Amino acid sequence: MPSTTALFRPFESENLSLKNRVVMAPMTRNMCPDHIPGDHVVDYYRKRAEGGVGLIITEGTHPNVDAVEGYRNVPFFHGEALDGWRRVVDAVHNAGGKIAPQLWHVGGMRGSGDIKIGDGDLKGYTPSGMNVPGKHNRHEMSDGEVQDAIDGFVAGVIAAKDTGFDAVELHGAHGYLLDQFFWAGTNIREDRWGGSLAQRGNFVAEIIRASRAAVGSDFPIILRYSQWKQQDFTARLAETPELLASFLEPLVDAGVDLFHCSQRRFWEPEFEGSDLNLAGWTKKLTGKPTITVGSISLDKDFIPEPGEGFFSGGDIASIDRLLDSLEKEEFDLAAVGRALIANPDWANKVQAGGLEQLHPYEKEMLLKLA
């Protein structure tokens, strides 16, 4: 294995300092039956901080927005839940780590009204009543409901700063609500929230702009985005670097500090004629720091291609390509997901040259926090 120096050198940006380049990727765990993180959640994140992770991004958490839920036992990010998150923050800080909550609205993934949780029969909120292109079986948000969602997200960003987090992430990827505004397949609105790719970013840009006004310039705002969607792995927001730039520039102007660029396989080039992945192109086009993510340190995707069968685990894979790209400064940070479920001390082991000591990931590991 090549030198791991590039992965473990400190990271410095205008408003975020980290001891290394290792990020814990946000992963839904469904372990908060009362929507409040308890002792087991505190211990879970503390162990990853003790294990050497520079920045932890929590599992998706729900701000106080209508129809925000779609899965059971997901933690809230408002009300009594904030007391639980303060305990998580304190534990991570005491272990030498830093942490950001991910704010998440499931949008049309909520279903068409048959999920008896949270708001009961309320249909999934979407920009144009669609969870997949052409199927109008969700709720189309009114302009007032869009503004209410903006206000709810902004309140979540303010709560993140007030609760002591080091940054906040907005989940704008994978076909959930924010991404459904980005995607032409699910956003056919003709008002200020629809139109060109840049215009379809107005909803998220307004969340960021209002959040920045509320929390000031020194609190880092991370935006996670992806080309692919759960609904369609082949979907793309932008087919060219020029179109991608037109999408990203208004978000930078609104106040994004870092982009978390989600790919199913981080090593895949984003556009023909270049080896740069999505994080590499995003950094090149915006000048902003980027986080790469996608099957780092494992040999299988979390979600397989249709027809490939149900994913059940993954063996440890080489990180040589990751180290080479970090050395070239193509991107700045690397988010490790399932490998950190299997190995809370992933960072410490890799830094010590112990890649062969890492445990493979097994699906059964999702059944408990450890």
The tens digit of pLDDT for each residue in 131-181 reads 999 999 999 999 999 999 999 999 999 999 999 999 999 999 999 999 999
- pLDDT at res. 114: 46
The two three-digit tokens of residue 239, written as one number: 């087919």
Residues in a beta bridge with 120: 117
CATH number of the domain within which 147 lies = 3.20.20.70
Q: How much is the average pLDDT of 329-349? A: 97
CA distance 319 to 6: 12
How many CB atoms sit inside 10 A of residue 313's CB? 15
Q: Does the structure show a pLDDT above 80 at 113?
A: no
Q: To which residue do tokens 């992806």 refer?
A: 226
The two three-digit tokens of residue 74, written as one number: 């997901």
* Nearest Cα residue to 6 out of 345, 330, 354, 344: 330
| Contact residues for 128 (Cβ-Cβ < 8 A; gap 6+) | 136, 140, 186, 187, 188, 189, 194
CA distance 334 to 279: 10
Q: Tell me, yes or no, if 44 is annotated catalytic.
A: no
- Regarding beta strands 313-314 and 361-362, do their DSSP bridges make them parallel or antiparallel, or are they unpaired? antiparallel
pLDDT tens sequence across 291-326: 999 989 887 665 555 544 445 567 788 999 999 999
Phi-psi region of 71 (alpha: psi -120 to 50; beta: other; left: phi over 0): beta
Phi, psi at 103, each rounded to 5°:
-95, 130
- pLDDT at res. 308: 47
The two three-digit tokens of residue 342, written as one number: 């299997």
Higher pLDDT, 304 or 365: 365
Q: Is the whole-model pTM more than 0.85? A: yes
| Mean pLDDT score of the chain | 93
SS3 262: strand
Phi, psi at 146, each rounded to 5°:
-60, -45
Q: Give the count of domains, the chain.
A: 1
Q: Which domain holds residue 90?
A: 5-367
CA distance 126 to 22: 34
Length of the chain: 370
Given the residues 45, 176, 225, 361, select the one marked as catalytic: 176
